[in-house]
């Protein structure tokens, strides 16, 4: 059977409560006799925010062992500086590098829209020695596209304005619909992280999983092999965010 991609996934351009639809990824399978059968695939994108850090290397080791791609939404805070060279390995091993924030300071990046884009410019400059920044067109807003913390600094409509400006500036953005809750004040252990993901993914054919590769998320590293094994056992196919949308658009 030959398989042809025919996905209808989409990235919404307006902030919504759930900015990743629970869509079904469809492909067409053509039998030897010429008949066409629709095949419904389940898709998972593993994403990591706020790195790179001392935990990025171990995460890459696991992804390499499991032969699974992931997307890294990176920052360039002071704590990240020594680990930015890890981005070369991220790209070399077939993963996606995407933008998150240079400073990750909400009071600064969400003061107004100009401040946000200046922060993104600073991030691009910081990572440019290690990756081809001209090839990076994806970003994730700190706190997500519908966060309300930003309203305290830039007004109640700042996220709507930033989302609108993304397209104008040639960027695509993406949130998540499954969370490990690994960067919360509760500091979950590996078992709880796995349970958080399983509960959040229940009933979804498309999962964009939020995790973190910071120095404080050792438990995420510990949980990652079981997370990957669980999604594989449920019949999910792994891809980067960019691969998911390229498939939707026909490559």
* Across 122-140, average pLDDT: 98
Neighbours of 173 (CB within 10 A): 22
**What is the rounded (10 degree) CA torsion for 237, 240, 244, 249?**
-140
pLDDT grade for 246, boundaries at 50, 70 and 90: confident
Return the pLDDT at 41: 86
- Give the start-to-end residue ranges of the domains of the chain: 43-242
Return the pLDDT at 247: 79
pLDDT grade for 42, boundaries at 50, 70 and 90: very high
Return the pLDDT at 32: 55
Return the pLDDT at 36: 46
Per-residue pLDDT at 189 exceeds 50: yes
Pick the range with the lowest mean pLDDT from 17-31, 123-137, 220-234. 17-31
Instruction: Give 81's DSSP letter.
Output: G
Distances (CA, A) of 145 to 6, 90, 158: 27, 25, 10
Per-residue pLDDT at 23 exceeds 90: no
Return the pLDDT at 183: 94
Return the pLDDT at 193: 98
Per-residue pLDDT at 15 exceeds 80: no
Return the pLDDT at 34: 53
Distances (CA, A) of 246 to 6, 66, 182, 242, 249: 11, 23, 29, 6, 5
Per-residue pLDDT at 195 exceeds 70: yes
The single residue listed with the structure tokens 């658009």 is 249
Of the candidates 51, 102, 44, 101, which has an alpha carbon nearest to the alpha carbon of residue 72? 51
Per-residue pLDDT at 203 exceeds 60: yes
pTM over 0.85: yes
Return the pLDDT at 60: 98
Per-residue pLDDT at 117 exceeds 70: yes
pLDDT grade for 20, boundaries at 50, 70 and 90: very low
Percentages of the chain per state (helix, strand, coil), in multiples of 5: 40, 20, 40
Is residue 145 within 8 A of residue 105, CB to CB? The reply is no
The single residue listed with the structure tokens 């980067």 is 240
For 79-113, the pLDDT digits (tens) are: 999 999 999 999 999 999 999 999 999 999 999 99
First-to-last alpha carbon distance for the chain, in angstroms, is 20
CATH architecture, domain 43-242: Alpha-Beta Barrel (3.20)
Mean predicted lDDT score pLDDT of the chain: 88
Pick the range with the lowest mean pLDDT from 33-37, 53-57, 70-74, 205-209. 33-37
């Amino acid at each position: 059977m030959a398989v042809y991609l025919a996905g209808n996934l989409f990235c919404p351009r307006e902030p919504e409560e759930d900015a990743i639809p629970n869509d079904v990824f469809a492909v067409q399978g053509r039998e030897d006799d010429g008949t066409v059968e629709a095949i419904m695939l389940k898709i998972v994108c593993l994403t990591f925010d706020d790195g790179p850090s001392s935990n990025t290397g171990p995460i890459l080791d696991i992804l390499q062992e499991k032969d699974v791609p992931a997307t890294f939404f990176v920052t360039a805070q002071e704590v990240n500086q020594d680990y930015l060279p890890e981005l070369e390995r991220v790209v070399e091993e077939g993963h996606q590098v995407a933008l998150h924030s240079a400073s990750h300071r909400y009071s600064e990046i969400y003061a107004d829209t100009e401040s946000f884009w200046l922060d993104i410019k600073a991030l691009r400059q910081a990572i440019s020695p290690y990756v081809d920044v001209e090839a990076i067109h994806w970003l994730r807003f700190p706190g997500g596209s519908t966060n309300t913390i930003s309203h305290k600094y830039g007004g109640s409509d700042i996220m709507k304005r930033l989302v609108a400006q993304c397209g104008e500036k040639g960027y695509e953005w993406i949130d998540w619909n499954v969370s490990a809750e690994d960067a919360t004040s509760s500091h979950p252990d590996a078992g709880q992280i796995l349970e958080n993901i399983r509960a959040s993914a229940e009933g979804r054919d498309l999962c964009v999983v939020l995790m973190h590769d910071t120095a404080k998320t050792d438990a995420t590293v510990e949980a990652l092999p079981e997370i990957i094994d669980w999604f594989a056992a449920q019949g999910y196919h792994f891809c980067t965010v960019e691969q998911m949308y390229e498939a939707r658009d026909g490559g």
